[in-house]
Amino acid sequence: MAIINEMQINTEAVPSTGGTKYFSITGDDDAQFMIQAVTSEGVFYNFTTKQFTAGEGFNSNHNKLVKLSGQYNSSIHFPSGATTTYSIILITNGFDTTINNDTRKVSVKKVTQSSETTLTFAFATDNPNKYSSSPAAANVTSSGTPGVATSVGVNNTSTVTNADNDTHGSGFATLKWDRDIVQYNGDNMWYCQKTATVNGASSSTVLTLDSVDEIAIGSQITYITGTTAPGATTIVKGIDADAKTVVLSRSQAFSDGATVTIRSYGASLINSVAGTSVSFSAVVAIKTSGTNKTYTTNGATNTSNTINLNGSRGLGKSAIISGTGINRSNSGDVIHSVSLSASGGSIVVGDNDAGTSGDLQTLPDNLTINTDSISTIDVHFRTEINSYPSTNKTINLDLDRILTPLATS
């Protein structure tokens, strides 16, 4: 009896760009075998031309016959751009020849190849009108072959800016700057989002949906319909894929047919729901020269808490102002309301207590006023991709965990 050992070949997925896989076979001298390689579409590999050629009838070039002498080494070349599964087939040639000293006459190794998929890292906010563009900054993408171990770093710094109009241009709340930067735990800043439809009204902890795909234990209900948040933090504690139900951390009323928004924060949940492998470094907010605008008074302010300005966009309620002669008594340095304008406008300061006058201001024309209200910042992030998903996915950076829009009143 002649024995052939199992074929040794790397069965990791072939990159979308193609490549070469080398294989070796050992066994008893004079043992004979045949090698074939075929796609899931039935296209055979031609060992003479070293190509998978569609439409080529099966012939001897597709069936590599080998008489073993010690060790046989060869290779198979895979094309670029294919999406298929390759079967590398070892067939013994002889009645008394077996594989690995058992009764097997055939051994098959499977190798997959897929087109590249794209991971999109998006700047996301529930307040899109508060930014100068939508999305707030350009999405960042990275593409690669699914199923192939990789190590791709994505570094990015983008600028996000408050809307420059009289409706939404009231700035953002100040940050707790530390040497002009604020760092955030990356795992708390990134999420994948899914929307699902409620299948049957519910007021319990069990919710039936049209699909529970891309939901994991630990995902959270962000909106029970539209932009209506649940009554309190509501976490997914259990999932029944067959029944399409999720068990929630608390009872919550849902209407039949409502569209529910579910978010999965952090690398562990993202990798679970998106079928990828990513990790996140700290997200960093960076102060720039334009972060805090300066303003000038338009005319003198005479014992009043209304200050006219030469442009007021970027200012919002609760922002703090400073400048020579600003009266800080009774919150006189805190904005109570704003009338927005590109070239005019005004602010009302103080505690809005009609019974006191301690917040009234007496200021000259053309006085420079500073503020802690934020108009623009840079946002830096770094992610590490160790594998790409089988389909395109979007991972969102939650800008609302960095910037809080200010109102006008």
> Does 1 have pLDDT greater than 80?
no
Closest CA to 154 of 118, 116, 115, 121: 121
Helix or strand run (H / E) with residue 271? helix 267-274
pLDDT of res. 354: 59
Using one digit for the tens of pLDDT, what is the confidence trace for 337-363? Answer: 999 999 999 999 998 775 567 789 999
pLDDT in tens, 129-162: 999 999 999 999 999 988 778 899 999 999 999 9
Spatial separation of the C-alpha atoms in residues 213 and 185, rounded to whole Å:
27
Is the separation of the CB atoms in 360 and 304 below 8 Å?
yes
The pTM of this model reads 0.82
Q: Which residues, in sequence order, are bridge partners of residue 67?
A: 32
| Residue 127 burial (10 A CB sphere; 0-12, 13-18, 19+) | middle
* Structure-token pair, residue 49: 């031309």
pLDDT digits (tens, 9 = 90+) for 223-263: 999 999 999 999 999 999 999 999 999 999 999 999 999 99
Summarised one tens digit per residue, pLDDT across range 291-304 is: 999 999 999 999 99
pLDDT digits (tens, 9 = 90+) for 83-126: 899 999 999 987 788 998 788 899 999 999 888 899 999 999 99
Torsion angle (degrees, nearest 10) of CA 194, 199, 202, 208:
-60
How far is C-alpha 19 from the chain's CA centre? 29
Q: What is the mean pLDDT of residues 47-57?
A: 91
Short-list 202, 218, 291, 292, CA closest to 251? 202
Average pLDDT score over residue span 201-221: 97
Residue 56 has what pLDDT? 85
Phi and psi of 380, rounded to 5°? -115, 140
Q: What is the pLDDT of residue 355?
A: 54
Q: How far is Cα 305 from Cα 380, in angstroms, rounded to an integer? A: 39
Given a cut of 90, is residue 275 above it in pLDDT?
Answer: yes
More confident residue, 114 or 182: 182
Length of the chain: 409
Query: Which is nearest to 200 in space by CA: 154, 168, 166, 246?
Result: 246
pLDDT-derived band at 2, boundaries 50, 70, 90: confident
